[in-house]
Structures are given as C-alpha cells and as structure tokens.
Structure 1
Amino acid sequence: MKLRGAGGFLLAAGLLVFVAALVTLIWTDHTELRISADNTDTLPLWMLGLTVFGGLAVAWLVPPKRRDDGLPDDPRTTRQGWWLFALALTFVIAFALSPGGNGWFLGLKLPLLLAIPLLFRLASWREWYRVDTRGRWLRPAPAILIFLALFTLFGHGYTGSRPDLITVLGVFILNAMLEEIFYRVWLQTRLEASVGRWPAILVTSLVFASWHAVIHGGNGFGVDLASAFVHIGGYGIFLGYLWSRYRNPWLLFLVHGVINLPIPMLAAIW
C-alpha cells in the first residue's frame, strides 16, 4: 500500500520547510544557534552543516552489510504510522501550550510517546531490543566517528558543576532512548513502509524538531521554529538516515546520548 503520490508530496514539502527555515535564519541574521535548553552558548550555522553533512556523506559511502526491508507495506502499518504521527504532533502542540517545566514535559511525553502507543498496540516494545544487529556495528562506525568528532570539535567545553550520575542516566533513558525508539524505530519505520525512505526521514525529523522550539527559544516564534527545524532537524536527518541504512538502535542511542550529554560533560563526572 505504498502511497507514492503522498511520498513525493511529503518529500517536496519537507525540503521546502527546511529551505524556508534556513533562509529565515540567514535573512534575519540568526545564524548562531543555541546549543541546548541548558546551555546558552551558540553554534555557527556552518559548523552544524559540516557536522551533519560530514556524517551523512560517510554513511552514504559505506553501505550496510545486509539489507533490512523493515515492516510490511500494508494498511495496518500505514494506520499505525499516521496514528503515531498524530501523537507526535499532539505532543508538540500540548507542550507548546503547557506552562513548561520538567513535570509537564514528562507528564506529556511518557503517555503520548510511550504508554499510548503500547496500550493501543500502535507499536511493540520488542521492535528495538530484538533487532538483529549482527554485522551492523563496524560499517556505520566511520560515519558515527566522523559525526561525533566534528560535533565534539565544534562544541564547547563544560564549565558547570559536576553532573550527577543518576541525572545523566535519567536523561539518557528518558531522552535519548525513548525519543529514538518513538521517532525512529516506531514512527519512521512505519512511514518508510508507506511513503518511502526520504519522505519518512524528513517528516519524522521535522516533527521531532518542532517541540524543541519551546525550550531553545527566545527570539520569537518564527525564528525559534526555524532554528529548531535547521538545528535539531539536521541532527534528526542524520539519525534518521543512520536508522534507515543500518537498522541498529543502539547506535541511535549512542549518538543522541552524546548530543544531549556532550563528551566534556561526561568527562566531568569522573
């Protein structure tokens, strides 16, 4: 039940959104992107581009050892994909309208991105921890090393207090793992089956990036959203391509974990 017409439309629309966001940032002279919600340091736009495209280029040059066809292209997979997309969009809107804070963040995130998909059988927990990763570790390693090397090189040193190990583990599980399971393993995989690889990667990256506009904000809604699409969406494209090409969820957790908890911060624990 491949929706080829929808796939072409989503691909064109997704590219248009990314280009419009990029033009907005350049036109308004907001080419210094805030690193994270907890860090007001900035990252130049060209450094972000080099990091993302460097990782993508190496991944494109190193094909997977064996192919993974993902989920079957049938009506059930399509329905699940769009219901998951609706939950992702609901999370964006509800979080944007909420008073903010960690309580609201987790109070919306856990039901919408975890409990409801499992309760209504829109996805299965087994999808990630039963993935056969044999032969899917060494080939993606060059792309990951290039991405993480550039990300660390262009990043900032950590000058805050010594991170608490429990907090670090909590951030890793609730952010890196949960988000990659929902957005890439569950949502993107289903959209791939119905609309194709690149439309699925772009749509997933955009909806993943959208809610970050709330916590990376400060320059007005339009600029904040454009910044989220380019910055977080750029990382999402790399993560999405990594998942689509190599099908190893542990690598997603690793890359996302380092993005959230950069190496200088992890080194400060010790």
Structure 2
Amino acid sequence: MLGRAALVACAAIALASLATVLVALPGGAPTSADPGAPAVAWWVVLLPAVAGIALALVLPRRAAAMPAIVTDARRLHASTAVLLACAVALPVLSGALSLAGGEGYVLAKVVLVMLVPGIAVAVLGGVRIHRVRGAWRWWAPAVVVVVWTLLSQVAPWNPAHDLSGVDPVLLVVAASATAVTAGLGEELLFRRWLQTRLEAALGAWPGIALASLAFALMHLGSHATGSPVLDVARVVVAQGSFGLLMGVLWWRHRSLVAIVAAHVVSNGWAVAAHLLG
C-alpha cells in the first residue's frame, strides 16, 4: 500500500512538472548549470530517456529477475534514513551557503554523496541483491547506453555548448571532478545504495520512482534560478527523466559500470567535444 501511494505521488509530481514546463517554458530551457549551456527543447530532453527505458525493459527479452532482498529490516531502515538525509542535505546546504559552482560544492558532494553514505552502507548494510550470471548483463545495458548516447549527444537536434570562453585547464579539472562526484558518486548514492534499499522496502517501481525524484531534487542545489516552483518542475523533467532511465537500467541489469558510464557521458560529452574539436 505504501509503495503504491509513493508511486502515484511520484507520477503526479512528474505530470504536474511536465505540464508546468510546457506552459511556462514552451521553447525549452538549459538542462545543465555549466557555462554556455544552451536551451534544449523538452522533446529533445525526453526522447533519449524514453527510448532508453523502452530498450532497457525489452533487452534481453527474458532477463532473470535480480530483486533487492531485505537482510535486516532495522538496519535497512537506518541506512535508508541516512542516505535520504544526505540527499536532502546537499541542496539545502548548497542553497543556504551559496556553494553552487565553487570548490565548496565539490567538497560537500564528496562528503554527502560519497563519504557519509559509503560509511553508513558499510556499517549498517540491511539489504542484498540476488544476482544472476549471463552475458546479457553486459551487452544489453551497453546497447541501451550507446543508443541513448546517440540520441542525447550525437543526433543533430542536440544544440551545442558554447565553451569557447572557458579556460581549457579549468574545463578539464571541472570535468574530472564532476566525473568522480556526479558520474560515480551520484550513481552510488541514488542507484546502488538508495534505490536498492527503496526497492527492497517498497517494491521495484516505487523504489525507482522515489530514487529518481530524490536525484532530481538534489540538483536544486546547483540549478536553482530563484523561481522555486519552476525550478522544481525543470529538474524533475530534465534530471528526473535521466534518473528514471538510470534507475531502470540498474534494476534490470545491476550494472554499475553501465550507469556510471552513461552519467559520465551525460556530464562530459560537451567538454570532450569542445576540447577535441
């Protein structure tokens, strides 16, 4: 019952957010906080995620289930509470202390996305994943990530970032820090650790939905523009749809390599294209 209520609530928030951005920002909006980030049409934002989710659900056609299983309910609840607290603390502290875009934000992410959650998971545990073997566990998510990359980064409808005025050394340093704290850290926190526990406690789809919503709202710390309702709607549609794809990939294939690779591509493709071009 609780899982169904959570799923309905997440769906309602997603639909309300989509309606809000379509009305308030019909031409699209920047989906990145990076300098030179262009406005992106909403269909361009959503198409890769929708296509990726569809592929993840059908590849392979007969994938064995790998459910998250509760091993200790009290430890599960305690570790989940710590992870959720960290997910909430990051945007709150970032906004209160104006950390976005600076070294303080990177440090806060290291502590709240990787260090504290990692210690909590190592000490408390509370859940395990029933894993199965099979070649499909690497080739199926690889196909999904490649198709998503083609649609979200390579296809001609994707607008280019203008990074011409940014120091190349700064770009490399910033991209490297983002790859670690976002590409690896966020996938560990929101998928490997948090979603797995929410799946075990509430069911697969409620767990995916709640972790994706938490992932989206975390971006308020770096993507806020001063309009709370519109900011929430923007991150739910843009970052939430990407988080939903990563969540489905993690649930279906339990491949941390695949979701980290996709996240690194999402954040670093524009920088790599600029430097190599």
Q: Normalising TM by the smaller chain, what interval?
A: 0.7 to 0.9
Give the distance between the partners of 1:157 and 1:172, measured in 2 at CA: 20
Deviations 1:117-150 (A, max 9, x none): 233446689x9xxx98862111222222221111
In structure 2, the CA distance between the partners of 1:96 and 1:71, relative to structure 1 (3 Å rule), is farther
Residue identity opposite 1:48 in structure 2: V
Q: Would the aligned equivalents of 1:55 and 1:147 in 2 still touch at CA under 8 Å?
A: yes
Q: Would the aligned equivalents of 1:95 and 1:211 in 2 still touch at CA under 8 Å?
A: no
Give the distance between the partners of 2:174 and 2:98, measured in 1 at CA: 23
In structure 2, the CA distance between the partners of 1:11 and 1:254, relative to structure 1 (3 Å rule), is same
Describe how 1:219-258 pairs up with structure 2 within 5 A.
220-258=227-265
Describe how 1:1-270 pairs up with structure 2 within 5 A.
5-38=1-34, 39-63=36-60, 65-72=63-70, 74-75=72-73, 76-101=75-100, 102-121=102-121, 135=135, 136-152=137-153, 153=155, 154-161=157-164, 163-164=168-169, 165-218=172-225, 220-262=227-269, 264-270=270-276
Give the distance between the partners of 2:44 and 2:7, measured in 1 at CA: 25
Give the distance between the partners of 1:254 and 1:91, measured in 2 at CA: 23
Residue identity opposite 1:108 in structure 2: A
Q: Would the aligned equivalents of 1:14 and 1:202 in 2 still touch at CA under 8 Å?
A: yes
Q: Would the aligned equivalents of 2:64 and 2:132 in 1 still touch at CA under 8 Å?
A: no
Q: Would the aligned equivalents of 1:133 and 1:248 in 2 still touch at CA under 8 Å?
A: no
Number of equivalent positions: 261
Identity of aligned pairs, percent? Answer: 25
Q: Would the aligned equivalents of 1:118 and 1:124 in 2 still touch at CA under 8 Å?
A: no
| Unaligned runs of at least 5 residues, structure 2 | none
Q: How far does residue 198 in structure 1 lie from its aligned partner after superposition?
A: 1.2
Give the distance between the partners of 2:158 and 2:98, measured in 1 at CA: 30
Q: Would the aligned equivalents of 1:51 and 1:151 in 2 still touch at CA under 8 Å?
A: yes
Range moving further from structure 2, 202-211 or 86-95: 86-95
Could you say what secondary structure the match of 1:56 adopts? helix
Could you say what secondary structure the match of 1:67 adopts? coil
Q: How far does residue 209 in structure 1 lie from its aligned partner after superposition?
A: 1.1
Q: How far does residue 253 in structure 1 lie from its aligned partner after superposition?
A: 1.0
| Unaligned runs of at least 5 residues, structure 1 | none
Give the distance between the partners of 1:92 and 1:71, measured in 2 at CA: 30
Give the distance between the partners of 1:80 and 1:91, measured in 2 at CA: 17
In structure 2, the CA distance between the partners of 1:237 and 1:121, relative to structure 1 (3 Å rule), is closer
* RMSD between aligned residues: 2.6
Give the distance between the partners of 2:177 and 2:123, measured in 1 at CA: 23
Give the distance between the partners of 1:116 and 1:218, measured in 2 at CA: 28
Q: Would the aligned equivalents of 1:96 and 1:211 in 2 still touch at CA under 8 Å?
A: no
Residue identity opposite 1:56 in structure 2: I
Give the distance between the partners of 2:26 and 2:221, measured in 1 at CA: 17
TM-score scaled by length of structure 2: 0.84
Deviations 1:130-187 (A, max 9, x none): x988621112222222211110113233442474444433221122111111111011
